[in-house]
């Protein structure tokens, strides 16, 4: 059977390895020195070391990944999300090495990967885009001129960015010089490309995206929407499918638009068209993610389609196993991302050991994770630990199921965002909907220090008391009788 090399780590590597195993495909993991003992390494059939912990020396080293594939005889490469997944140069290197990259062709990646090109291509294909630059912005002077033209607030975005990284909102001209320099530096550091572009910031839009699937036989379908408007630091934390409120007419229009956008770049594989939606359900193309998304489980739960299975089928040259007519939304699915971060300190990452980690299980629940209890969360990579998803016949029951599941999540030893997720889920804005990307900002500051609990304080004292009793000097050594000593030393000699 063909072998698939998974050029990623964490939960998504584990997700793909499991799918390979289900299909009877071989799986090869790769890892950095920080991940030597990580879950994905031991889940796969084989594993190859890439290099030192920093991503640029390991998971971003396309040459090492290709060498690992050659070494192990892997013929397919699944890039997961992040890292090399949207790097068209890597895609071309795979082609040259005779390896099947699981994803769209280099043309689609180039068209969509550089956000400025994507905007031009979509504009030309008749897909609505957000007002702003159709070209990259190279100098501060250019940036100043354009910002003055379209008016503040504006968004500075990394042309090669994605996943909420490398985005800055500037409220007035005074913030531009520092913001422009910072955006370029971050873009260069994280995406290897300092190019940035500018869009008018549509403040507090809804963020709704459409999942698409296409095979190499000319079939392109959409799997309806995911609402991803619950964000902090421009990063999604809760996603749901279907959206909280969206008219059926808009849903179908967005689906048709997404299929058209994918076809415009001859898309093959799984992809996502991200849109901004305003209060009147006007929608604008924001970007296409030419890869599997973090939040793909909600679509899988709501439609019953296994997206990774379809990706693997398509990569093996087969047709999609489903047609557009097969796709219906059934019930409601919600995903919560569990992060090692401190919500009371501006969501600063809090890497550390997972001293306690026992996720909830039960009907309608799904956990996607890449760590286990005792694992260290390395500080070199993303701070997401796990994704917890809940499915139920309707939205309110799905929320209730998620709340109950989060409540019994056993987790500790580092700061995490479970109380923050609970705060969002319990908020009236989320419960009633529709809500927008401003939702998290409207919530009162979260008090992460729990109230005093006499039982916990008493237990702390009792535990300490018992530790001390146990450590009391044991009976002195000379209490050992001559008989015991002889028996002990004699026993040693006998070995």
User: Which stretches within 73-172 are classed as H helix?
Assistant: 88-96, 106-113, 115-124, 140-150
Secondary structure element (H or E) that encloses residue 180, with its range: helix 176-191
In the complex with other proteins, the residue whose CB is nearer, 252 or 456, is 456
Q: Is 345 annotated as catalytic?
A: no
Catalytic residue among 39, 165, 206, 291: 291
Q: Nearer to other proteins by C-beta: 306 or 419?
A: 419
CB of 23 vs other proteins, minimal distance in Å: 32
CA distance 334 to 389: 5
Q: Using DSSP, state whether 311 is helix, strand or coil.
A: helix
Residue 377, beta-bridge partner list: 352
Least Å from the CB of residue 420 to other proteins: 11
348 membership: H or E segment, kind and range: strand 348-349
Quick one: which H or E segment has residue 465?
helix 454-471
In the complex, minimum distance from the CB of residue 466 to other proteins, in angstroms, rounded to a whole number: 7
Least gap, CB of 376 to other proteins (angstroms): 11
Binding site for other proteins (CB under 8 A): 165, 182, 186, 190, 233, 345-346, 348-351, 355-356, 379-383, 406-413, 416, 418-419, 449-450, 452-469
State whether the Cα torsion 215-218-219-225 is positive or negative: positive
The 10 Å Cβ neighbour count of residue 352 is 13
152 burial level (CB within 10 Å; 0-12, 13-18, 19+) = middle
Contact at 8 Å (CB) between 314 and 103? no
Q: Which is nearer to other proteins, 140 or 462 (CB)?
A: 462
Please say which residue, 168 or 206, places its beta carbon nearer to other proteins: 168
Give the helix ranges, DSSP H, for 265-394.
296-303, 307-315
Asked whether 291 and 270 are in contact (CB, 8 A), the reply is yes
Which of 293, 310, 122 is closest to 208 using CA atoms? 293
Comparing CB distances to other proteins, the nearer of 279 and 458 is 458
| Shortest distance (Å) from residue 387 CB to other proteins | 16
CB of 122 or CB of 421, closer to other proteins: 421
Helix ranges, 304-370 (H): 307-315
Cis before 165? omega within 30: no
Nearest approach, Cβ of 152 to other proteins (angstroms)?
22
User: Closest distance between other proteins and the C-beta of residue 85, in Å?
Assistant: 15
Nearer to other proteins, 96 or 461 (CB): 461
Which neighbouring-strand residues pair with 137? 196
* Rounded CA separation 240/229 (Å): 9
- What amino acid positions are annotated as catalytic residues? 291
């Amino acid at each position: 059977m063909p072998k698939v090399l998974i050029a990623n780590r964490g939960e998504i590597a584990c997700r793909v390895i499991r799918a390979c195993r289900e299909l009877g495909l071989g799986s090869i993991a790769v890892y950095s020195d920080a991940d030597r003992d990580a879950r994905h390494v031991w889940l796969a059939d084989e594993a190859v070391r890439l290099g030192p912990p920093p991503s640029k020396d390991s998971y971003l080293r396309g040459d090492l990944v290709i060498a690992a594939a050659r070494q192990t005889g892997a013929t397919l490469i699944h890039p997961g999300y992040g890292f090399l997944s949207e790097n068209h140069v890597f895609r071309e290197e795979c082609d040259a090495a005779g390896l099947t990259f699981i994803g769209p062709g280099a043309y689609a990646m180039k068209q969509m990967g550089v956000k400025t090109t994507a905007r031009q291509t979509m504009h030309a294909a008749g897909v609505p885009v957000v007002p702003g630059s159709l070209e990259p912005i190279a100098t501060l002077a250019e940036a100043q001129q354009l910002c003055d033209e379209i008016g503040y607030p504006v968004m500075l975005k990394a042309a090669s960015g994605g996943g909420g990284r490398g985005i800055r909102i500037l409220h007035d001209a005074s913030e531009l010089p520092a913001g422009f320099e910072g955006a370029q530096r971050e873009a260069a550091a994280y995406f290897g490309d300092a190019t940035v572009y500018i869009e008018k910031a549509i403040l507090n839009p809804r963020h709704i995206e459409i999942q698409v699937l296409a095979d190499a036989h000319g079939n392109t379908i959409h799997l309806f929407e995911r609402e991803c408007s619950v964000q902090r630091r421009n990063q999604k934390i809760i996603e749901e499918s279907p959206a909280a409120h969206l008219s059926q007419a808009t849903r179908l229009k967005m689906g048709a638009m997404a299929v058209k956008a994918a076809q415009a770049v001859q898309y093959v594989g799984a992809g996502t068209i991200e849109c901004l939606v305003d209060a009147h359900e006007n929608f604008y193309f924001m970007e296409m993610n030419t890869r599997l998304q973090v939040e793909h489980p909600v679509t899988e739960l709501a439609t019953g389609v296994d997206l990774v299975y379809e990706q693997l089928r398509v990569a093996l040259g087969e047709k999609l196993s489903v047609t557009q007519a097969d796709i219906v939304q059934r019930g409601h699915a919600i995903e919560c991302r569990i992060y090692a971060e401190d919500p009371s300190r501006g969501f600063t990452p809090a890497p550390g050991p997972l001293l306690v980690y026992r996720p909830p299980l039960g009907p309608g629940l799904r956990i996607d994770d890449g760590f286990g209890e005792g694992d260290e969360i390395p500080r070199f990579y993303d701070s997401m630990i796990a994704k917890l998803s809940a499915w139920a016949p309707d939205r309110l029951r799905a929320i209730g199921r998620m709340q109950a599941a989060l409540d019994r999540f056993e987790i500790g030893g580092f700061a995490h965002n479970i109380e923050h997720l609970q705060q969002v889920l319990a908020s009236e804005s989320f419960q009633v909907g529709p809500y927008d990307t401003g939702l998290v900002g409207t919530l009162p500051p979260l008090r992460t220090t729990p109230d005093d609990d006499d039982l916990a304080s008493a237990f702390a004292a009792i535990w300490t008391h018992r530790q001390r009793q146990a450590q009391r000097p044991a009976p002195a050594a000379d209490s050992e009788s001559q008989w015991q000593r002889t028996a002990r030393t004699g026993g040693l000699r006998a070995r």
